[in-house]
A and B are shown apart, each in its own frame.
Chain A
Amino acid sequence: MAIEARNITKRFGDYVALDDVTISVPDGSLTALLGPSGSGKSTLLRVIAGLEAPDAGDVRIGREDVTAKPARSRGVGFVFQHYAAFKHMTVADNVAFGLAVRKRPKAERKAKVSELLELVGLSHLGERYPPQLSGGQRQRMALARALAVEPQVLLLDEPFGALDARVREELRRWLRRLHDDVHVTTIFVTHDQEEAMEISEQIVVVNEGRIEQSASPGEIYDKPASRFVMSFVGPVTKVAGTLVRPHDIQILTEAHEATQEAVVTRLWWLGFEVRVELLPAEGEALYAQLSRTEADALALSEGQIVHVRVDPTRGPQREPATP
């Protein structure tokens, strides 16, 4: 089901968490709400779920206006950052909860629970209690629990935020594959641009209660709509007062058109990537990212004088005209 939130405003006292926000999520897609903490992205997700009532605006799921409906009748599956596991119930009972409150027959519950535990790879842990599971396992249980009621949309609030880096990466890929199998419209909130880029088809960048840009990951990266988006979704450095991506800086051994002289102040060999800190004759220090091959070809060393410019073939990735 497609999701639409129109002109949503939400205040907490004097604090404006969402300021006239409109987003539209196509049916069957996987969309990321990306922004720094306190940007309002979680509030927006909670408004869509019905866990928070907006002060203005409306929410539609499919063709239905659900603004006045309570969370329980919106048909949403919600996954919390800290799992929200029902600690006094077994894993199987956690997953069966939605069916139990709907008074579904026992046989149906059992079949559904074993199907879902299979899907999330927890079949052997059905009789355990949540405190006996690892963080990653708990979050997969929470996903199975949300999917058990066959929600029309799946909403994930920083689902991997509390996990360590490796489990996080693993679960990300797993979520992506799961989405390819299950095809339920999904929105997930994250402050990690890499996570957003890796698994979503659409990214909505949120900042200070407003939408900065809403586009595909490639477009967000290559054609950022604002300075904020540009610096939030990837690395940036300043050349003559303009923001550019450090991998778009060209380093040449001889002077060319539009180059300026700079001295190499530091070099970092980070495996495949080589990072070069440069101090131009005029202006602030900047840094460039080169591939190992490029760096080797230039035979760079600290203290060397080089000539730098922004790669003329990569024009569109520069800072947008609007602030």
Chain B
Amino acid sequence: MSRIALRSIAIGYLAALLVVPVGMVFYRAFEKGFATAWDAVTTPPAQHAFYLTCMIALVAVPANALFGVTTAWVLARHDFRGRRVLDVLIDLPFAVSPVIVGLALVLVWGRDGWFGMTGVIFSAPGMILATIFISLPFVVREVLPVLEEEGTDQEEAASTLGARGWQTFWRITLPTIRWGLTYGVVLSTARAIGEFGAVAVVSGKISGRTETLTLFVEDRFQSLDLTGAYAAGVVLALLGVSVLTLMTLLQRRHQRSR
């Protein structure tokens, strides 16, 4: 009895907070027919927003993967002054509100900022910087525990067998962390696609030029083009769901390979 009650509470909670709202987005998007929705997400600004979101993710995620693996390796394999500080610093993007991140970037890179130059803020480079900042911790946080758990035995064994540093990395370290790295990349991708606050501040929200999908949704909503907003929302939701599905499939494969 109590088990059924607990189950109902859990399911009811998820339904009220997740399933119903997302379902409503889908319903409202296709309310006036598929053709209308399709037209709304194939306008030039919509297409550009889609392209920009993908482009930003394609730059930001590999950058984070590279930086994340390097940082995790430094933290796991080296002891130095300030190691703890670096370890805490990695989580800063989780702690600081994205809007603040956006403002900080404007202060540093804006025309009157420290590195003041044009072409960063209110354009793609600034948006990429903001996205990298926001999704920076994921790869480090997924890879670091794997490196710590596996220890140095395998790497040391490789070196006594004649492997150079790079050979050890490609043949031993990378295969060892591959699942952690994969999860980190998937999570970074999801975060990069869905980012709103920081990107909103640095982009200037110029329709057809600096609008990502999330900004496009907001723009359509403000202009009372509800079909456009919901239809673009569906595109975003589908991107997110496919990332999630990919993650689940990978997890299943990982468990089987253990």
* Residues in chain A within 8 A of chain B (CB atoms): 49-51, 70-74, 76-78, 80, 82-88, 97-98, 100-102, 131, 142, 145-146, 148-149
Contact = CB atoms under 8 A, between A and B. Distances in A.
Contacts of B162: 72-73, 98, 101-102, 149
A91 to B, nearest CB: 14
B222 interface: no
Interface stretch (B68-76, B151-159, B231-239): B151-159
16 contacts: A51-B159, A70-B159, A71-B156, A72-B164, A73-B162, A74-B160, A76-B160, A78-B157, A80-B153, A80-B156, A83-B153, A85-B154, A86-B157, A87-B154, A101-B162, A148-B161
A101 B163 contact: yes
B182 interface: no
Contacts of B258: 131
Nearest to A102: B162
Given A84-B154, A86-B154, A101-B171, A49 B163 contact: no
Nearest to B154: A84
A87 to B, nearest CB: 7
B161 A146 contact: yes
Interface residues of B, number: 17
B104 interface: no
B166 to A, nearest CB: 10
Interface of B: 153-154, 156-164, 167, 171-172, 175-176, 258
Contacts of B175: 88
B12 to A, nearest CB: 42
Contacts, number: 64
B176 A72 contact: no
B153 A49 contact: no
Interface majority SS on B: helix, strand, loop or mixed? helix
A82 B151 CA distance: 11
Contacts of A87: 154, 176
Given A51-B156, A80-B157, A97-B158, A72 B172 contact: no
B150 to A, nearest CB: 9
A131 B163 CA distance: 23
A88 B175 CA distance: 7
Contacts of A51: 156, 159-160
B170 to A, nearest CB: 10
Contacts of A77: 160
Contact of B153 (A50, A71, A73, A84): A84
Nearest to A82: B153
Given A88-B176, A101-B171, A72 B154 contact: no
Contacts of A70: 159
B63 to A, nearest CB: 26
Contacts of A49: 160
Nearest to B158: A97
A145 B161 CA distance: 8
**Interface pairs A-B: 9 shortest CB-CB:** A84-B153, A98-B161, A84-B157, A78-B160, A88-B175, A101-B163, A71-B159, A72-B162, A71-B160
Nearest to B175: A88
Contacts of A73: 162
Contacts of B171: 97, 100-101
Most chain B CB atoms below 10 A, which of A49, A70, A77, A88: A88
Nearest to A74: B160
B168 to A, nearest CB: 9
A101 B156 contact: no
Most chain A CB atoms below 10 A, which of B156, B160, B175, B176: B160
A50 B175 CA distance: 25
Contacts of B157: 78, 80, 84, 86, 142, 145
A206 to B, nearest CB: 21
A72 B153 contact: no
Contact of A101 (B153, B154, B161, B176): B161
Contacts of B172: 86
A143 B258 CA distance: 24
Contacts of A88: 175-176
Contacts of B158: 86, 97, 101
A83 B151 CA distance: 12
Contacts of B154: 84-87
Contacts of A146: 160-161
Contacts of A85: 154
A101 B160 contact: no
A50 B159 CA distance: 10
Nearest to B258: A131
A187 B83 CA distance: 36
